[in-house]
Amino acid sequence: MPLVLATDDDGGPEIFASVQGEGPSAGMPVAFMRLSRCNLACVWCDTAYTWHFEGDNRPHRESTTFERKANQVTLDEEEVAARLTTLGQKRLVITGGEPLLQAPALARLLDLLPDISVEIETNGTTKAPPALDIRIDQFNVSPKLAHSGNPADLALLPERLDAYATDPRAWFKFVIAEPTDVEEVLVLRDRYRFKPDHVFLMPEGTDSATLREREKWLAPLCVEHGFRLSDRLHIHLFGDTRGT
């Protein structure tokens, strides 16, 4: 099956070059590819156009639903590889949606890109099969806390979190909306023995003012608990827009 990608504002595939805005690779020049579809539904998701299609009744803080045909594009692996190669970047960030839902097609794509390093943005509920896993240099795992609106039995799977916690390629990025959210991170840290220096706390927000305000109280909590603070550079640079 070919890859199903999200679309940019012009209706083409959301494949572009930029700087990574979040987590351990923040500021690094990369190629981005955003895939469509997700198995979770975060109420604050800023890429709802990848999953909140017409007829999907899962809650989101904005009532907008998206026409599937206008927000998805299907391309074969050869076409995607050609577009990525044209960008001239040495590192690829695969995001979504939940990219690992399309693991077999991703493995075939990366066979066509043997010299590029790869990081995957994942919600941590899925597993990369061996043919894909061998090509992943970095997992950016973002487990969803209670304020996301996802039930814990769907979003926080012990088997998967145990596996990522012992994988040196895995970094954890938690979206934080209120100071009390950090208490949930601490429980997860102790349960799964996350390495504190592999844990990022990132403020939830899609505008600079909200991010800056929340970072004021989030930074001291990072200092207190030994976590790292992640900004969202792309929001400051480009706003909450596709293809950035």
pLDDT per position as a tens digit, 67-115: 999 999 999 999 999 999 999 999 999 999 999 999 999 999 999 999 9
pLDDT per position as a tens digit, 46-75: 999 999 999 999 999 998 999 999 999 999
Residue 235's identity, in one-letter code, is I
Walk me through the domains of the chain, giving residue ranges and CATH numbers.
3-238 (3.20.20.70)
Token pair for 121: 């943005």
> For the sheet containing 91-95, what is the strand order?
15-19, 29-34, 91-95, 117-122, 138-141, 170-176, 199-203, 228-229
Residue 217's identity, in one-letter code, is W
* pLDDT of amino acid 206: 97
Task: Supply the pTM of this predicted model.
Answer: 0.96
pLDDT per position as a tens digit, 120-154: 999 999 999 999 999 999 999 999 999 999 999 99
